[in-house]
Amino acid sequence: MSNYKAKILVVDDDLNLLDLLVDTLTSIGYQAIGASGGVPALEKLTSEKFDLMITDIKMPQLNGISLLKKVRRHYPQMPVLFITGVDYPEVIGRATPDGFLAKPFRINHIEELIENTLKNKVDALTHQIRKVLVVDDDNTFREMLSDSLRYNEYSPCAVSSGQQALHELENGQVDAVVADIKMPQMDGITLTKKIKEKYPQLPVILITAFLTQEDMEKQAVNEIADGFLEKPFRIENIIKLLNGLSPRYGGEKT
């Protein structure tokens, strides 16, 4: 690993094992923080950012599989590893964690699993969209979306108008654009057409709360944009769209 110490959230209702695992991971160079169950883990996730989570499966109130589903919804970029003393591979397979170890296990096995998982995450991120230009005249929504993208390890750049967006593209490089359709002076459809004229390979995702099916057909949204979402939408939906795109840089005229 580099000098950066990966921050790991360890979740287990067995307090003795939790303390042991946190202490062991800390001693070999990680930033390890413990949570005594699924509910406390969610509380920590709302206030701190983690590189990876390791969780037991069989826990009261919120078990590891239910916790994984919530993490996938709100923190889709964070890998999750399962540890458990109960072996039911079919259930684990359906839950699709990023890795799995059965108790008891040797510490070198979990260290190897952590290293491989973090390496796979880094390799995946190098092939993903990173810098996203957010264009929306709604200040609250623009800031909320930017914060959510930043938490999910994107680098958002936010502007409030189409003209500002074009200026930003002239002066810097971005991987993708997320633009509202209904904006004054220059709407998202017009902005997308201008972007595609100068940067035809730059992905653009359009979002709106007001577009009807008739409008979609008339404006041919699906033909000019690389993705479309109706407000309100869950953050994992736009993350999924961005993950399906390749970085085709804007900021240099074709």
- Band of pLDDT at residue 50, cut at 50, 70 and 90: very high
Would you say residue 204 has pLDDT above 90? yes
pLDDT in tens, 106-132: 888 889 999 988 887 765 555 567 889
Under 8 Å CB-to-CB from 21, ≥6 apart: which residues? 10, 12, 32, 34, 54
Q: Is the pLDDT of residue 186 over 50?
A: yes
Q: Tell whether 48 is covered by a domain.
A: yes
- Quote the percentage of the chain above a pLDDT of 70: 83
Please give the pLDDT value at position 206: 92
For residues 30 and 98, membership in a common domain is answered with yes
1 in a domain, yes or no? no
Verify that 162 and 213 share a domain, yes or no.
yes
pLDDT of residue 241: 87
136 belongs to a structural domain: yes
Of 234, 239, 238, 136, the closest CA to residue 180 belongs to 136
Both structure tokens of 107? 């510490």
- Give, in order, the Cα–Cα distances in Å from 19 to each of 6, 16, 34, 101, 241: 18, 5, 7, 18, 39
Read off the tokens for 23.
Answer: 């202490």
**pLDDT(254) > 50:** no
Give pLDDT tens digits for 224-241: 888 888 888 888 888 888
Measured distance CA(87)–CA(55) in Å, rounded = 14
* Mean pLDDT score, 50-71: 92
Of the three residues 110, 125, 140, the one that is the final residue of a domain is 125
| Contact by Cβ (8 Å): 151, 107 | no
Question: Do 107 and 27 reside in the same domain of the chain?
Answer: yes
In the predicted model, what is the mean pLDDT of the chain? 84
Task: Mark whether 175 and 97 lie in a shared domain.
Answer: no
In terms of DSSP bridges, do strands 227-230 and 204-208 run parallel, antiparallel, or are they unpaired? parallel
- pTM (2 decimals)? 0.52
CATH code of the domain in which 121 resides: 3.40.50.2300
Q: Are residues 31 and 71 in the same domain?
A: yes
Q: Which residues of 152-190 are buried (b: 16+ CB within 10 A; e: fewer)?
A: bbbebbbbbbbeebbebbeeeebbbbbbbbbbeebbbbe
Based on the structure, what is the number of domains in the chain?
A: 2
169 and 73 co-located in one domain: no
Domain enclosing residue 183, as ranges: 131-243
| DSSP annotation string for 187-249 | -HHHHHHHHHHH-TTS-EEEEESS--HHHHHHHTHHHH-SEEEESS--HHHHHHHHHTS----
Last residue of a domain, one of 64, 97, 125: 125
Tell me, yes or no, whether 109 and 152 share the same domain. Answer: no
Q: Under DSSP, is residue 80 helix (H, G, I), strand (E, B) or coil?
A: strand
Are residues 27 and 118 located together in one domain of the fold?
yes
pLDDT of 90 strictly over 60: no
Last residue of a domain, one of 96, 125, 154: 125
Looking at the fold, whether 100 and 138 belong to one and the same domain comes out as: no
23 and 46 housed in the same domain: yes
Same domain, 18 and 116: yes
How sure is the predictor about 221, in pLDDT bands with cuts at 50, 70 and 90? low
Residue 2 belongs to some domain of the structure: no
The residue type found at 245 is L
DSSP of 87-115, one letter per residue?
A: --HHHHHHH--SEEEESS--HHHHHHHHH
How many CB atoms within 10 Å of residue 46?
8
Quick count: other Cβ atoms within 10 Å of Cβ 105?
A: 11
